Structure 1
């Protein structure tokens, strides 16, 4: 019972994991220039519309090769839009991918209209189109590479070389097994496998993986056919027998690939094939074998050496012995450094009379370049927007790589500590720029020089510029910068040249900057009508600093408010004073009565005193008659 429970638990766990193992690989196919999703014949392949990936303009396409997908549109990148144009494809799961780019032609171009340009993947120059590519029905109609994508994006860029405008018909990004084409030490560590060619020996025509009913985890690989190595040196053999050890992880080679082969003949026992390659490059070679010759029934009946440019790389190869049976696949892989322009594969029999081969794969090993710090790339993109950089500058992709195509006006350095490229200089003088210099410029912490002279840039000089401690040269002359000079520019101890002349700056030159003059720095502040404070500029007696001007302005506002408040108070007091007589006039009867009463009292007192004097001095007496209705006293002499 307990064993059954464990068995049931194990089965449940397996069923839970099964979707993870059987899920379909990630795939994105883009029909460049298409306004709607489309499907192409003959396999009814689905292609996404081309929306929000890049710039350029859509156009009608002419297929340059019969192996090109049957799509009717493409995207053109005119040189007027810049020398670098990129497809930036996001939300790609971490993994190993086959990336394929199909080139296109606009209508039927003459030879002079055939576009020639460079292709980079994730900042690494991986391919250059050669003249005449559009006249061949082979791998030259597209670019293909195997690469690990680790940051959720794929950047595919096209760099103009001055011969025609790049035109892209379609893009495929197909997930493959993470250990596909494993070659040993260094695998997956900054290496791109560029497909040079895939050859199915003895096949009657080129085929894609879908034509072979191949497993989708191998990628929809293209296999060109090679019916003979030439000069009557071989013959084709084939079988319909089942081939063992095929369609297996990690490479998922299709069975049909091993059902045809080329075999040498009696008169020429060596089987040799010569390929044109790029000189001084490293290549990964994959050779495919299966013992499908019915005349071989056991080990030791066919043994041969494999030579590359005359050097033995595999000795005494016995397909039956190594694969373990007839009709069983065997794959041999080696890495070879090629100094010349050709690579010759020779199969030399050492036992028996014939050599045999089923397929050949050749990849160029391209060392991936170190990218630029992502934060500095984002800062340059903000700078591009703030300054209104013209389209002709491009500024797409990575500013420092590929090193053959850096961004115009950008100087780069490789930082061995960070193992990344950094921005060391900006030279954008006399380019007709407008806009402003953003404060984000301070994120370019490795910047040593900046030259924006001779443009029409407005606004203040960002104070954050003074935080870039590595800065040595700053030239912002002949622009329209305004405001004051940031104080912390004087903290740039490495500063050797500062040109701020011919702008609209004002205020006092910071003392910290003036002190830098004593350390051999060269400054130019002329033609700024509002600047003062150092020799060659007006004194600051009549030219106040910006802070002083602000203080005076605030003081003036306060004084004005006090004057207005005092005036209002005085006016109200004066109004009160003016209203007092009016109030007295309203109270007049009461005031008169009071006056008469007071005078009567005074009169009586006076009469009493006079009578007393009359009695003693015998003076005439006076009679004071009071008329209540009168406002005066009537005095009568009674003597």
Structure 2
């Protein structure tokens, strides 16, 4: 029995520990933009991390915050247009989940930059907010907030210049919330995000965050703007000190104090009406908060009202006590509506008993998330960006194709409706002063229809992998693809295009690498592009034989330009090539030539050494000539003397000469 008790205790302790661990604080990242060190701010001692290695831009000091609701930080980061129209914070190692992303804006302390900047903001490639003129004069416009799902471990937050000043960011907050937070029915999920349009605490006179209310951290530390009247001149604020039941329930975790204040209508104007400006033709998710805090309302049927949205009754005969289960009990009603005009009006119309009452209002714009560009093609463009040394002004940051209002300069995008993905079907980077090289990774751009890199100083060899771009026909058969305007090749343009069976005219299917510094040979893999119609490689430093497959294509109406490449040969218009040698033969010839050259050098050195020795000997002989001549004469005299004496002896022995 004792062992069983211990086991039960251990199981209970384990479950309790699991619950505690599961309820540990949600993942949070707060960045003080432009800060060199971590910062803590009063009164909550909130930690803001230093701004390091997330993005480009320039750190600067901030003027006094435009609103007292902004965090009291002293720095910001701004993005001049010279660094490109698109700049992003890429925050890595973000756990998969549902998040509230909040951005605060600021003004640079530089006296020459006092005008408020206006720019667009996107999260995960979806544009969800544009700053409006006059935002510095409205407390609820100094920041924006969205509820989004982050799936790939990276939070990408981008700022897009619109030509009205440099984007300037004071701080970024990424706050994890419950995965089911703000579920609004069909359409909710990872394909949408919610942008906070407004969040009101009715009857309250001070702005507050959830942390000020001691709210649950899983609520995402929402900001509640105060409103004591809807402007009708007759409604009144109401409050209570009684505790509220069930306000902090999952998944939204509303703070209890939110329901302790309210606005009620009066006899002068029985209807409660709240009106706000919105963007037309959008869906809005509306969350209405109630609690019966009037001491004079004690039972069911004593306060009944209809709720209308833009004149349509969406919640008929609302009885707070009946729906919530009692007095001082939280009630939340939600609906999603399409707003065609520019005004959203919420009306509470009394039906029975007391006048209408409301404690809080939340309104979110439902934003459909953009489909992203194929990951492998994004990586290929990033590799190309590095290899070509693309200047910052191109703004190749974030996603190449989305948001659609801000695509990458020089990248042509096409949407695949079947795969719900964007892909790159064209690159136009001609005459941009580029001086890098073409990487092998360009072959990952499998949907390219045209490339134009002419008029740059791109060097190196043409990668053979470029011949692997062969899937264009299959992908485009299922798409409606607009014909591109014709681009004249008078200045020379690379039009390597693999149309693979499409009817490629002069205005499509082309590749232009002309007027660069490419060297080496033309890769044989280009001959594998069987539908290649136009290829301009003129004005480079290419050499070797033009692949036979390309030469044969000229007989079938293809238009190729290989001029101004002194080393090329093998097709009409170019010089005749010598006997074709295999790669092994070429290596053997090169090796033999090197050996012969080395032998010639060794022989030359030996001859030169021998010649030097001979010259040195002659010099020595020349210096010793008088002594040598004397010895030679003496030797000659001795020889003559010996010869004479011998001759005399011979004569005496033989008798007298007949001549004597």
TM-score after normalising by structure 2:
0.83
- Structure 1: how far apart are the matches of 2:271 and 2:111? 43
**Contact (CA 8 Å) 2:108, 2:114: kept in 1 or not?**
no
Matching residue of 1:418: 419
Q: Which moved more, 1:535-544 or 1:54-63?
A: 535-544
Check whether the contact 2:510–2:535 (CA below 8 A) recurs between aligned residues: yes
Structure 1 residue 480 corresponds to structure 2 residue 481: no
Pick from 91, 94, 97 the counterpart of residue 95 of structure 1.
Answer: 97
Write the distance in 2 (CA, Å) between the matches of 1:475 and 1:546: 28
Matches of 2:387 and 2:463 in 1, distance apart?
A: 13
What SS is found at the alignment partner of 1:105? coil
Could you tell me how far 1:491 is from its partner in structure 2? 0.7
For the 8 Å contact 2:98–2:178, the answer to whether it is kept is yes
Deviation (angstroms), 1:64: 1.4
Instruction: Report the 3-state secondary structure (helix = DSSP H, G, I; strand = E; otherwise coil) of the residue aligned with 2:218.
Output: helix
* Aligned-partner SS, 1:378: helix
Cα distance, 1:130 vs. partner? 0.7
Match of 1:527 in 2: 564
Aligned residues: 569
Q: Which moved further from structure 2: 447-456 or 407-416?
A: 407-416
Residues 525-578 of structure 1 show CA distances to partners (whole Å, capped at 9, x for unaligned) of 01101111111111214999988765532342355578899999xxxxxxxxxx
Change (3 A) 1:109 1:253: farther
State the 1:518 CA deviation: 2.6
The question of whether the paired residues in 1 share the 8 Å contact of 2:107 and 2:114 is answered with: no
Question: Does 1:60 pair with 2:61?
Answer: yes
Q: Indicate the residue corresponding to 1:517 in structure 2.
A: 554
For 2:531 and 2:67, locate their aligned partners in 1 and report how far apart those are by CA, in whole Å. Answer: 58
The runs of at least 4 aligned residues of structure 1 exceeding 6 Å deviation read: 108-112, 542-548, 561-568
- Root-mean-square deviation (CA), in Å? 2.3
Match of 2:501 in 1: none
1:31, 1:47 within 8 Å by CA — same for their partners in 2?
yes
How far apart in 2 are the matches of 1:416 and 1:230?
Answer: 48
* Equivalent-residue separation in structure 2 for 1:277 and 1:328 (angstroms): 31
SS of the equivalent of 2:442 reads helix
Partner of 2:284: 283
Q: 2:72 aligns with which of 61, 70, 73?
A: 70
- 2:574 corresponds to which residue? 537
Give secondary structure in 2 for the equivalent of 1:383. Answer: helix
Question: Within the alignment, does 1:492 sit opposite 2:529 as a pair?
Answer: yes
**Matched position secondary structure for 1:106:** coil
Per-residue deviation at 1:231? 2.5
1:333 paired with 2:334, answer yes
Report the 3-state secondary structure (helix = DSSP H, G, I; strand = E; otherwise coil) of the residue aligned with 1:172: strand
After superposition, the C-alpha distances for 1:231-258 in whole angstroms (9 at most, x for unaligned) are 2131111000000011221111001110
Asked if the contact 1:507/1:543 (under 8 Å) is kept, the reply is no
Residue in 2 that maps onto 1:503: 540
* Superposed counterparts of 1:5-44, under 5 Å: 7-44=8-45
| Consecutive unaligned residues in structure 2, runs of 5 or more | 473-497, 499-508, 606-660
Separation in 2 of the partners of 1:386 and 1:185? 46
Provide the C-alpha distance between the structure 1 equivalents of 2:600 and 2:134, rounded to a whole number of angstroms: 88
1:6 deviates by 6.0
SS at match of 2:251: coil
- Output aligned runs, 1:80-479, within 5 Å: 80-107=82-109, 113-138=115-140, 140-469=141-470, 470=472, 471=498, 472-479=509-516
- Separation in 1 of the partners of 2:350 and 2:223? 30
TM-fit CA distance, 1:8: 2.8
Q: Name 1:49's counterpart in structure 2.
A: 50
CA separation of 1:404/1:546 partners in 2, compared to 1, >3 Å: closer, same or farther?
farther
Q: Find the aligned partners of 1:384 and 1:86 in 2 and give their Cα distance.
A: 16
Kept in 2, the 8 Å contact 1:92–1:152? The answer is: yes
The alpha-carbon distance between structure 1 residues 548 and 128, as it changes in their structure 2 partners (threshold 3 A), is: farther
The change in CA–CA distance for 1:102 and 1:343 in structure 2 (over 3 A counts) is: same
* Distance of 1:484 and 1:460 partners within structure 2: 7
Secondary structure of 2:193's counterpart equals strand
Q: Relative to structure 1, is the Cα distance of residues 355 and 111 closer, same or farther in structure 2, using a 3 angstrom cutoff?
A: farther
1:324-370 alpha-carbon deviations (Å, 9 max, x no partner): 10000000000000000000000011112410000000000000001
Seen in structure 2, the aligned counterparts of structure 1 residues 210 and 12 have a Cα distance that, compared at 3 Å, is: closer
Instruction: Give the superposition deviation at 1:43.
Output: 1.5
Partners of 1:518 and 1:183 in 2: how far apart? 64
**Offset of 1:183 from its aligned partner?**
1.2
Per-residue Cα deviation, 1:575-634 (whole angstroms, up to 9, x for no partner): xxxxxxxxxxxxxxxxxxxxxxxxxxxxxxxxxxxxxxxxxxxxxxxxxxxxxxxxxxxx
Higher Rg: 1
Do 1:270 and 1:349's aligned partners in 2 also have CA atoms closer than 8 Å?
yes
Question: Separation in 2 of the partners of 1:550 and 1:114?
Answer: 67
What's the TM-score, normalizing by structure 1? Answer: 0.86
Query: Alpha-carbon deviations, 1:52-72, whole Å to 9, x = none?
Result: 000000001021111110001
1:546/1:159 CA distance change after superposition, 3 Å: farther
How far off is 1:143 after superposition? 1.1
TM-superposed CA distance for 1:123, in Å, is 0.4
- Any gaps of 5 or more consecutive residues in structure 1? 569-639
SS of the residue aligned with 1:180?
Answer: coil
TM-fit CA distance, 1:16: 3.6
Contact 1:411-1:425 at 8 Å conserved across structures: yes
Shift of 1:9: 4.7
User: In the alignment, is the contact (CA less than 8 A) between 1:233 and 1:271 conserved in 2?
Assistant: no
Does structure 1 residue 79 correspond to structure 2 residue 81?
yes
- Residue 496 of structure 1 deviates from its aligned partner by 1.7
SS of 1:380's equivalent in the other structure is helix
Contact 1:530 1:543 in 2 (8 A): no
Kindly state the Cα deviation for residue 303 of structure 1 after the two structures are TM-superposed: 0.6
State the alpha-carbon separation in 1 of the partners of residues 543 and 78 from structure 2. 48
Structure 2 counterpart SS, 1:298: coil
CA 1:224 to 1:111, structure 2 compared with 1: closer, same or farther past 3 Å?
farther
Q: Secondary structure at the match of 1:59?
A: strand
Q: Residues of 1 paired with 2:580 and 2:392: CA distance?
A: 42
- State the shift of 1:474 in Å: 1.2
> Residues 411 and 293 from structure 1, CA distance in 2 versus in 1: closer, same or farther, beyond 3 angstroms?
same
